[in-house]
Structure 1
Amino acid sequence: MPELPAPDYPAEVRTRLDADAAEIVARYPDSRSALLPLLHLVQAEEGHVTRSGIRFCAEVLGLTTAEVTAVSTFYSMYRRKPSGDYQVGVCTNTLCAVMGGDAIFEQLQDHLGVGNGETTEDGKVTLEHIECNAACDFAPVVMVNWEFFDNQTPESARRLVDDLRAGRPVQPTRGAPLCTYKETARILAGFPDQRPGAVEATGPAGDPSLLGLRLAKGEAPPSRVVSPRSSFPVQDQPSAHDEAAATHPSSHDEPEQTSASDPHHPAPPAPDRGPGTTPDTQSGPATEEGE
């Protein structure tokens, strides 16, 4: 049985979307370039990209519904099904994971009673694990509708989702006040962000992000060098490596001789195999060719 045509939006909704779409398309020299923001626009209408939204985008841009569907299913920021007012994404990429992101995600699944990509019964929260949010210096990071909640713990993450479900005010660690997913989608479509503090949120990066730059410019005192091998003194007189450690912040990462790097298992002196011997390739005394 062939699939029924996608329903059109009600007349008042279609009129409003047509005006918004015209404003978006006018920003681009080629109308097809407007597809991504148009998908955000229709997502802002219903909370996910519906068949009606795909039909609308295709008609506005002169594309087939297959072309629009291909794009909407490629990018993870477009939802395929109804979901919550708040998309709670837990970063489980490498640094956030080792700093506790995996534990946060597992506890939130148990606490909310949902799996990855699933929504709570009250329709408030959709939980998912996400890839790097480019905020590794604040790990582990949780994002709600793409707003940052830095340096999270399982306990703070549970309080966060409880506040979201209860309708209590929630303030991101940095950036503008939190808004719903539909409101976020409209902002991503390119319309002005009217939230208080939205402009300030685009300002300088936080202190952890800028510390390395300040150190390089000499604007911050250098970190104290703590060599992991300093508890194993191997010689009475300071070596060239010790002198470098006092001036170079990363000198303790330089290679050392085995006897210096592991005093408990020093390497024996290399045997003198005599002339004509290739080191580490001969198991016995060197012999003259032909003997």
Structure 2
Amino acid sequence: MTLLVSFCLVMGLARASVPESKPNLASVNAAVAYADDGELILAKNADRVVPIASVTKLMTALVVLEAGQPLGEWLEFYPRHLPAAANAYTRIREGSEMRRRDMLRIALMSSENFAAYTLARHYPGGYEAFVAAMNAKARALGMDDSRFVDPTGLSSDNRSTAADLVKLALAVAEYPQIREYSTTRYYTGRFRQPRYSLAFGNTNVLVHRDSWGVALSKTGYLDEAGRCLVMMAEVDGRQVINVLLDSFGSRSPVGDAGRIKRWLQTGALGRVAGAARAYERRKNAQYAAAGDAPAAQ
């Protein structure tokens, strides 16, 4: 038996193991893929263009690392040159300094917005060049329905699709730093001028559970985007990418991740709370009114 035939048989068996019936999800939009081939095994409104909140920071991290600037360089937290969003609270002091790698870590694991903003300010050519690089990278990855206007995700004009975000997850997963930083459970950030420390925690509770084996993670939330989660975790020996967008409650993406895992392992479809169903109907009605009706499930 040739190597090609063996590979095709193995992949055919793997795809055949995916249950035909789709699980019930609280997230209004979703996409799931095995990381080894990138093909979607589950899609729910996966091509709908929606705000993605702080999931944006995965693209931010990719642009930072591809610039090749020294990760050990100390960077100053400049005063904002653009008005901060109402939800842009930070404990970091303007004028203080932190190493680039530590800024990247807290931007990913704790979704620190001032850190993501500052990384963009120190990019060659500055903030506007950084945002341009984000959009150029999206085009290079084939993320044709994605658009970025800032590096933090605080703007609802950062928009993408669940299917596009699978492509982004596959790209960032190639970087060990992004995998490590995004799954750090707790971290003490050290600053200078003045010297002080701040404690940070990961915004994804599943990162703290060894049984999940989370290898990549990014959460997001805006009123317009709902609760969002992009995560890569192991299921029966294979890495699975979950993209869950616009969930009703803070625990809904975690619940969906659990339903997807059980679905792959047992075929169970799971149940979704009535409040989440009502939220989904309301959001689908809003999309329909805007000219984007939900796809058939």
For normalisation by structure 2, the TM-score amounts to 0.22
Bigger relative contact order, structure 1 or 2 (CA pairs below 8 A, ≥6 apart):
2
Higher strand residue share: 2
Larger radius of gyration: 1
